[in-house]
Structure 1
């Protein structure tokens, strides 16, 4: 597994957190579901990590705290229910760009992790808390592949618009923008073009240089499991089984339905850290998927892939 940062940076943060004891039987808590099913049942769409659900759907089922993470991008998101994880960002606080308008501190989310294409596993209720902001020296200690990957993604994707906006403002005015100034600048850009295309003059090389001197910073959030909704997992495990049967009978494949690209809207700047699921063959039945550990060679908690 390619770690997102130097192990000396991240392993102490993981070791500082405890596992949450999940008592639901393994066969039931290991059942995965698809985003199509979750969207059909609870709303929120199939693309974004932080989702906002229409109030009429919330009134139906009572849930409005979903967060979907992928192992391709969020490498240290939990893979085992109750296990801690780490989340990487470029901000020290959640705001309307990243979270639904209803979400306030202490930032507790109902976390799902995509273990493989089309297979999403409920991990538990996770409290997010800022635990470390890398200094310029710590950033420069990271591997070249890690730094280049982050800089390239910030330059290419909609969720990097705030970094590109700050750099653009800094280049023009010689100082950091206030929160209000940055918000106004981003709104102006979004009116003119797609979010991912905003500030296209801010290159990967420019972004790297800003991180290297400490003008931009990598932020680490700890993800600590503070609860596990057994009733919820039992419900979706049972309902997904029936939904999958009906879905297949109508020509779908349950886990890996290809999204309807004709319904996609242009990016809005809300955090979107992955692409939709792609159809993929998998012989496991009823959404069950194997989770593997890779030992760190110590008595500490293992990392998961």
Structure 2
């Protein structure tokens, strides 16, 4: 389980931020149409598994689109679930404004069902409040275990492990 506590979410975002919705001027049948990841990858290129896939140079030259994000509710349970709705993407990185993916809106797809990736719209990633040690300890044990396991087994935390190693061995951040 990766769901963070409601208390943390409300503290980090405010109720208005969580409930903000952009109007989508198309019918729900069109707005909620899902596509398989292989289909999207075949049309535009990019990895079938990466959260932020990069199309090959040939595909990029053809369509010029290198602004994709694919959020899976299994790993990103606070992602938007309807086009235009607000959502959250948490990572192991410290919240800072220098990440290149923050420069422009990203074409955001969310996996709502098996092989059903729904286009949510153009979303801008904005750094939020980092989870403090106290807020981390207030999360349910299952949440902490799932995140810790992902950090170790899925390499979500390789950069964090390197920072800890450098801090311990070299005394630098």
Q: 2:122 corresponds to which residue?
A: 125
Q: Structure 1's 162 and 133: CA in aligned 2 closer, same or farther, altered over 3 A? A: same
Q: Does 1:62 align with 2:64?
A: yes
2:42 pairs with 35, 40, 48, which one?
40
Q: Structure 1's 56 and 132: CA in aligned 2 closer, same or farther, altered over 3 A? A: same
Structure 1 segments of 4 or more deviating over 4 A?
none
1:107 CA displacement? 4.1
Are 2:72 and 2:110, in contact at CA under 8 Å, matched by a contact in 1? yes
1:88 CA displacement? 0.8
Secondary structure of the corresponding residue to residue 16 of structure 1 = helix
Per-residue CA deviation, residues 44-99 of structure 1 (Å, 9 max, x unaligned), is 1211110111232123223221110100010000110000001111212477xxx8
Secondary structure of the corresponding residue to residue 24 of structure 1 = coil
1:3 CA displacement? 5.9
Structure 2 gaps of 5+ residues are none
The within-5 A match list for 1:1-305 is 4-12=3-11, 13=13, 15-17=15-17, 18-91=20-93, 92-93=95-96, 103=100, 105-173=102-170, 175-177=171-173
Structure 1 gaps of 5+ residues are 178-305
User: How many residues of Structure 1 are paired with residues of Structure 2 in the alignment?
Assistant: 169
Q: 1:286 corresponds to which residue?
A: none
Secondary structure of the corresponding residue to residue 45 of structure 1 = coil
Secondary structure of the corresponding residue to residue 132 of structure 1 = coil
Query: What is the alpha-carbon distance in structure 1 between the residues aligned to residue 172 and residue 120 of structure 2?
Result: 38
Per-residue CA deviation, residues 134-169 of structure 1 (Å, 9 max, x unaligned), is 222222211111112111110111232111112222
Secondary structure of the corresponding residue to residue 87 of structure 1 = coil
Larger Rg: 1
Q: Structure 1's 160 and 104: CA in aligned 2 closer, same or farther, altered over 3 A? A: closer
Per-residue CA deviation, residues 155-196 of structure 1 (Å, 9 max, x unaligned), is 1112321111122222323x343xxxxxxxxxxxxxxxxxxx
Per-residue CA deviation, residues 90-115 of structure 1 (Å, 9 max, x unaligned), is 212477xxx8xxx4543421000011
